[in-house]
Amino acid sequence: MKTAKFAIGQVVRHRLFPFRGVIFDVDPQFNNTEEWYEAIPADVRPRKDQPFYHLLAENNETEYIAYVSEQNLLEDDSGEPVRHPQLRELFDKTADGRYSPKHHARH
């Protein structure tokens, strides 16, 4: 099994489509429905045996949750802030502009 190349809190962008986001969870390999997988056009469908990332994603029009294979992600080094509304619930912004996961108290 491959080690994830990207980390929780890292800002990434999609290799093919115009969106970017902050990683909030990582699956070591594909862990979504077969229907979701089959809905991806065959010519761009990623392999299942690689890390998949859950993103607080955004494009020019909207914010949403995305599930993206490692092969389709690149580091986003634009330095632009991410505007996703759930960002503040899950992360604190650090001095260097990165996002650090908030540690929630467990009861």
Asked whether residue 2 is assigned to any structural domain, the reply reads: no
pLDDT of 80 strictly over 80: yes
Residues 6+ apart with CB under 8 A from 23: 6, 7, 8, 9, 10, 12, 53, 54, 55
Mean pLDDT of the chain: 92
Asked whether residue 59 is assigned to any structural domain, the reply reads: yes
Q: How many domains does the chain have?
A: 1
Asked whether residue 106 is assigned to any structural domain, the reply reads: no
Asked whether residue 62 is assigned to any structural domain, the reply reads: yes
pLDDT band at 26 (very low <50, low <70, confident <90, very high): very high
pLDDT value at position 101? 92
Domain assignment of residue 97, given as a range:
11-101
pLDDT of 27 strictly over 60: yes
